Amino acid sequence: MEAWIRQNCDRAVDTSNNLASAEGIFRNCYGCWITGFSRFLGLSTVMQAELWAVYDSLSIAWEAGCKKGFGRM
């Protein structure tokens, strides 16, 4: 049986000043935390922040050699 990785990412944008961040976590198939990330984006739109969260998640998974997994935004 092959182990799966679960990834969750999210973003936040303060609409009063458009400051944004992107973050995410990775868990193994048993729900145990593996790693996470957080990035301050500065001035950003909601779409840009969402794309950064996805990009960072995929980059981490690629570098870790993950071949199977699924994500949630």
Q: What is the mean pLDDT of the chain?
A: 86
pLDDT surpasses 60 at 40: yes
The Cβ of residue 53 has, within 10 Å, a number of other Cβ atoms equal to: 26
pLDDT of residue 63: 86
Q: Domains of the chain: which residue ranges?
A: 5-64
Which conformational region is residue 59 in: left (phi greater than 0), alpha (psi within -120 to 50 degrees), or beta?
A: alpha
pTM for the model stands at 0.78
pLDDT of residue 21: 96
pLDDT surpasses 70 at 69: no
Q: Compute the distance between CA of residue 35 and CA of residue 21 in angstroms, rounded to an integer.
A: 17
